[in-house]
């Protein structure tokens, strides 16, 4: 939001000189102060930090209810064999994050920065296989690689990994797609490489299929729908 700033014009030379001039200038100043008070200047001004705090958080939403246990895609199992710590569930961590303005800023910043940093490429072009989950440390990756990097960066910023769940969806063109679901006390939010906006899961337009479980290595279904075989979608 932009704010207009009123500036005085001229050097005040229009006022008569001497004592009369000083009195007129003082009267004009007091009149301006009075006008400011009448239009609301008497209230304490909202500091920029306060404005950001009020406006930063999204409206409270809902959680995506988990269903029956589900199998992850095969590429996830291969990823876990190479990075077992990434797939370990620490039950001592909270399953839901308290969404403060600071956490919201962290989510939106990481989402935007990773989206800008990683250039999309299919796994076939990148790795020579149909579907591979890995970190895009060379600057290239597809949807799941990009979300894995976001999750790693958020964990490095002390967000609990247990509340950061890799999730499989059917996207707007009917293909398998991976996003990162962040479980918060204001509903489940989605980090996605297709948009810089962090959205409540209901507003993405996706069909949610399954995500990592929070109590063990087994995944959980989200709508008991058909599961895509791969998520090889940029």
pLDDT of 8 reads: 31
pTM for this model (two decimals): 0.74
Predicted local distance difference test score (pLDDT) of residue 192:
98
Res 100: pLDDT = 96
pLDDT, position 42: 35
* Predicted pLDDT at 223: 75
Please give the average pLDDT of every successive group of 10 residues along the chain, which has 234 residues: 29 42 46 35 41 65 90 95 96 97 97 98 96 97 98 98 97 96 97 97 96 94 62 52
* 3-state SS, one letter per residue, for the chain: CCCCCCCCCCCCCCCCCHHHHHHHHHHHHHHHHHHHHHHHHCCCCCCHHHHHHHHHCCCCCCCCCCCCEECCCHHHHHHHHHCHHHHCCCCCCCCCECCCHHHHHHHHHHHHHHHHHCEECCHHHHHCCCCCCCCCCCCEECHHHHHHHHHHHHHHCCCCHHHEEEEEEECCCCCEEEEEEEEEECEEEEEECCEEEEEEHHHCCCEEEEEECCCCCCEEECCCCCCCCCCCCC
């Amino acid at each position: 939001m932009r704010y207009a700033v009123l500036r005085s014009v001229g050097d005040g030379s229009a006022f008569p000189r001497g004592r009369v001039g000083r009195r007129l200038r003082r009267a004009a100043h007091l009149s301006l102060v009075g006008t400011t008070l009448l239009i609301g200047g008497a209230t304490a001004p909202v500091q920029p930090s306060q404005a950001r705090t009020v406006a930063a958080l999204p409206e409270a939403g809902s959680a995506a209810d988990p269903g029956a246990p589900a199998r992850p895609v095969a590429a996830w199992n291969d990823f876990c064999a190479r990075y077992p710590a990434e797939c370990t569930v620490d039950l001592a961590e909270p399953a839901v994050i308290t969404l403060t303005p600071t956490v919201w800023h962290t989510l939106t910043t990481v989402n935007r920065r990773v989206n800008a940093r990683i250039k999309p490429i299919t796994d076939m072009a990148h790795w020579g296989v149909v579907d591979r989950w890995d970190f895009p440390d060379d600057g290239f990756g597809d949807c799941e690689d990009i979300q894995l990097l976001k999750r790693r960066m958020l964990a490095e910023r002390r967000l609990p990994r247990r509340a950061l769940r890799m999730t499989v969806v059917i996207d707007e063109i009917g293909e398998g797609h991976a996003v990162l679901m962040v479980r918060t006390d204001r509903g489940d939010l989605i980090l996605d490489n297709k948009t810089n906006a962090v959205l409540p899961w209901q507003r993405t337009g996706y069909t949610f299929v399954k995500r990592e479980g929070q109590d063990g290595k087994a995944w959980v279904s989200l709508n008991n729908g058909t599961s895509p075989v791969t998520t090889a979608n940029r």
